[in-house]
Amino acid sequence: MATNTQVTADHNAPPITRLLAEFVAGHPSRGWSDEIDAQAHRTFMNWLGCAIGAAGHESVLSSLAAVQELSPAPQATLLGRRERVDIANAALINGIASHTFDFDDTHLKTIIHPAGPVASALLALAEKTGASGRELLDALVLGIDVACRLGNMMYPHHYDRGWHITGSTGTLGAAAGCSRLLGLDADRTQMALAIAASQPVGLREQFGTMTKPFHPGGAARAGPMSALLAKHGFTGSRRALEAPRGFAQVVSTKYDWDEVTGELGQRFEIGFNTYKPFACGIVIHPSIDACAQLRQVHGVAADQVERIDLRVHSLVLELTGKKTPKDGLESKFSVYHGCASGLMFGKAGEAEFSDAIVTRPDMVALRARVHAVVDNSIDEASVDLVATLKDGRQVKVFVEHAVGSLEKPMSKAQLEAKFNDLVVPVLGQQACTRLLDDCWSLAQAPNVAALVAHACPAQA
């Protein structure tokens, strides 16, 4: 038996449940800069690609089979699939799909993956209500702001305690976004946040299992349900987030209220959202980027290379030091495989971490020619690479910040290439191209009907 010290209650918290409700209900449509609005489009499009890409994964098949036992009404689209289910279960399954590859967006300040809970909830609800693209984007920015501000308030203590912060704050982001989309007033939005506050989802212990992507899925599901309950008069505590026995003080030992209230309505956390170019942990990204540059900038082909020497931060070998990965899953923890993939293909998407690629003889041989040593002068975000070619030449690449970081965001073309890689195998090139158009022009769409139609395979 273990017993630890009790938490000391903070009885003087500001009324953040009310403040967030007023913000979500009252902030003007598109009340932010062009850059924030562009980020909303990128966040939505990146989320959509990730969800469609995983449409055939066993986590989706398994959760869909469970949901089918409820004979759900065909209200909302499952991305990349022909089945339709009710709003709440579409939010659940699309949320699971979008996080299945661990390839979705990251709010780096908190490690929250905000689109999974929020966008999954919103698209399902928008399909039912007939909301416009503009209304969906507004709700996305505001919902993500709520989730990430609550994350900032509690990070890192809440995460260190063992909560999967994406799911625990995601319920509130999803409820906020859905309240906005339903046009709830501040009082009802406050109730929706209160109802959602009682439903945090997610333990870090589940990492490595399907319950990890269940967390954003479960959080997404809580969004429309909390907002619909509030719409119909269901009540919760007006101080559900901040009271001594409320959300923050129960699930965290740190609660920095200023992170919620500071510059509310002026600074938008979606501005700090990033997108992964490579379908693996961020710690390998500088090395993959360096190898892709070797190929793309310096014109070096894989078969020209005698050896590659990396100088890396210690975390790289600690977390991803597998020299001879045996399958796709293991290859995600191999900086050697990441480098080989960057050099061979110029990329490292979900396909490059498949069993078939990992076991290819040329990849096995190339991985063996990659060597890494720890150099304490190298930052976690950086890598120093020297390629020795068979003709004796040496090519050096130093990456300070990898592509996909806040300092070096993915370009529009790179985001589209990632989307393409995820979507074409599921829907084909024509639908993929149409969907990209739908995403970039979402603010002008009268509703989401065309977009969701394009996100499903054509009927046989």
Angle between helices 165-181 and 186-197 (to 10 degrees): 160
> Please, what is the minimum distance in Å from the beta carbon of residue 90 to a copy of itself?
10
Q: On the CB side of 440, how many CA atoms lie within 13 Å of its CA?
A: 10
**3-class SS of residue 233:** coil
Comparison of 33 and 62: residue with beta carbon closer to a copy of itself: 62
Cβ proximity to a copy of itself, 236 vs 271, nearer residue: 236
| 8 A C-beta contact, residue 296 and residue 267 | no
Residue whose C-alpha is closest to residue 151's, from 105, 202, 98, 109: 109
Name the minimum Å distance from CB 9 to a copy of itself.
Answer: 9
Burial class (CB in 10 A: 0-12, 13-18, 19+), 301: exposed
DSSP 448: S
Looking at beta carbons only, is 208 or 392 nearer to a copy of itself? 208
Q: What is the DSSP string of 125-171?
A: HHHHHT--HHHHHHHHHHHHHHHHHHHHHHTTHHHHHTB-HHHHHHH
Nearer to a copy of itself, 144 or 153 (CB): 153
CB of 414 to a copy of itself, least distance (A): 33
From the CB of 278, what's the least distance to a copy of itself, in Å? Answer: 25
What's the rounded Cα separation, in Å, for the pair 208 and 204?
Answer: 9
Q: Enumerate the β-bridge partners of residue 305.
A: 389
Give the Cα separation of 338 and 19 in Å (integer): 45
**144 vs 228 by CB, closer to a copy of itself:** 228
Nearer CB in complex with a copy of itself: 253/414: 253
User: Least distance (Å) from a copy of itself to the CB of residue 200?
Assistant: 7
Sheet holding 394-399, edge to edge: 370-374, 305-312, 383-389, 394-399
* Closer by beta carbon to a copy of itself, 63 or else 98: 63
Smaller CB separation from a copy of itself, 256 or 355? 256
SS3 274: strand
Distance CA 405, CA 338 (A): 17
Residue 455 Cβ vs a copy of itself, minimum distance, rounded to whole Å: 21
Quote the least distance from Cβ 122 to a copy of itself, whole Å.
15
Judged by beta carbon, residue 32 or residue 247, the one nearer a copy of itself is 247
Question: Residue 65 Cβ, how far from a copy of itself at the closest point, in Å?
Answer: 4
From residue 202, alpha-carbon distances to 80, 163, 223 in Å are 25, 6, 15
Q: Which residue has the tokens 């089918």?
A: 68
Min dist. Cβ of residue 232 to a copy of itself (A): 4
CB–CB of 127/452 below 8 Å?
Answer: yes
